[in-house]
Amino acid sequence: MSPGSVVVIEAVKDEQLARGLMPRAQRHVWRAVLLAPLSVILLGCQRGEVGADNPNMKLTTGNHPPIIRAATLQPTPLVLTGPIVVHVDAQDIDRNPLSFRYRWIVNGQPVRNQDGEQLSPELLKRGDAVSVEIWPHDGMVEGSLFTTEPVVVSNSLPVVAHLAIEPESVSPGVRVQARADISDVDRDLIRLSYRWWKNDSLVQEGDEAELDTAGFSRGDTLSVEAVPFDGVQKGKAVRSVPIHMGNTPPRILSAPAKSIVNNRYDYQVEATDAESDAITFSLETAPPGMTIDEHKGSVSWQISPDQIGIHKVRVLAKDSQGAIAFQEFELNLTPAVPAKPAGV
């Protein structure tokens, strides 16, 4: 029966009552009968407006507690190179925004002051069993506890943070050394193995951190690769930035002359260059009057009587690439002792 028909019946009934056509004994019966369906019908109308007549509205029901379907610990495998994080897959059928309460468990014991979604790796060591207890909350009610399965902390790989060759500027024949910055969060003792490369060809491999570049030539490239090992696992290989073999400076082969003849000093400088570059000579430090032939390296000095004393000499030999070798020595001039007369 619709609300309209109830109103009509109620109007007919009131008219009969007004005319006195309805016995007084039946008046209360009619009102009781008619009012009862009216309340039922009106209730039905309210439900119809919420449901069938307006499908965009939902029935009002009670709040449902949220549930956690799954939770996983990251990273995988569980290592101590960064924070331990729990990822939660939760559901709330009422679509309420969710928050979570955490309690971290290590080796069966709760960890104090760790109630967030991350656990500091400084609190752990290799071999620890880690799990976390999680409670979801939808702003009105807290859901059931979810506990992850314990995960054992694995070995963390050692890391070569930086690798370089020293010295950075080097010429053939010079010994070089690899310098590595290494770290291991498990505090294991780290051993490094090296591979040395000349023009991308392997020339030395092993535990030796040094390399003799004898046999290299100007322009050759040199690089080194280091692999860390913590006694359990090898870490990632790291290769240095290549360096280029520079120019080899000339070498002075001769020794300074020690004799002075007739107040004159002569010395022939001899030098060689590994790349056969042209060599020129000069005097950086010399007493007044001393000269050197730029191309031949001949040193000449006509000594005057007033030049008694110690004189420092520095000879330079420079190749066409600008590399320099030098030689330093001193000349000590003393007064000549006059000869004694015969028979004295």
The predicted pLDDT at position 342 comes to 62
pLDDT score, position 60: 43
Q: What is the pLDDT of residue 343?
A: 59
pLDDT confidence of residue 48: 35
Percentage, residues of the chain above pLDDT 90: 74
pLDDT greater than 90 at residue 22: no
**Averaged pLDDT, 63-89:** 96
Q: What is the pLDDT of residue 62?
A: 86
pLDDT at 39 over 70: no
Percentage with pLDDT > 70 across the chain: 80
Averaged pLDDT for residues 5-30: 41
Q: Which residue has the higher pLDDT, 19 or 41?
A: 19
> H or E segment at 102?
strand 99-106
Q: How far apart are CA 225 and CA 233, in angstroms?
A: 17
> What confidence category does residue 335 fall into, taking pLDDT thresholds of 50, 70 and 90?
confident
Q: What does the pLDDT look like over 97-127, one tens digit per residue?
A: 999 999 999 999 999 999 999 999 999 999 9
> What pLDDT is attached to residue 334?
87
**Residue found by looking up tokens 């951190």 in the block:** 209
- Of 70, 49, 50, 48, which Cα lies nearest the Cα of 59? 50
State both tokens at 2: 């619709």
The rounded distance, in Å, linking the Cα atoms of 284 and 289 is: 13
* Mean pLDDT computed over every residue of the chain: 85
Q: Name the pairing type of β-strands 84-91 and 118-119.
A: antiparallel
pLDDT at 339: 54
Which residue from 119, 112, 127, 107 is spatially nearest to 82, judged by alpha carbons?
119
Residue 58 confidence class, pLDDT cut points 50, 70, 90: very low
pLDDT score at 241: 96
CA-angle at 109, arms to 103 and 110, nearest 5°: 25
pTM of the model: 0.62
pLDDT, average across residues 64-68: 97
Higher pLDDT, 57 or 251: 251
pLDDT band at 61 (very low <50, low <70, confident <90, very high): low
Angle between helices 3-19 and 24-50 (to 10 degrees): 160
From CA 278, how far away is CA 323, in angstroms rounded?
11
**Burial of residue 176, with CB atoms counted within 10 A of its CB: 0-12 exposed, 13-18 middle, 19 or more buried:** buried
Q: What's the pLDDT band for 4 if we cut at 50, 70, 90?
A: very low
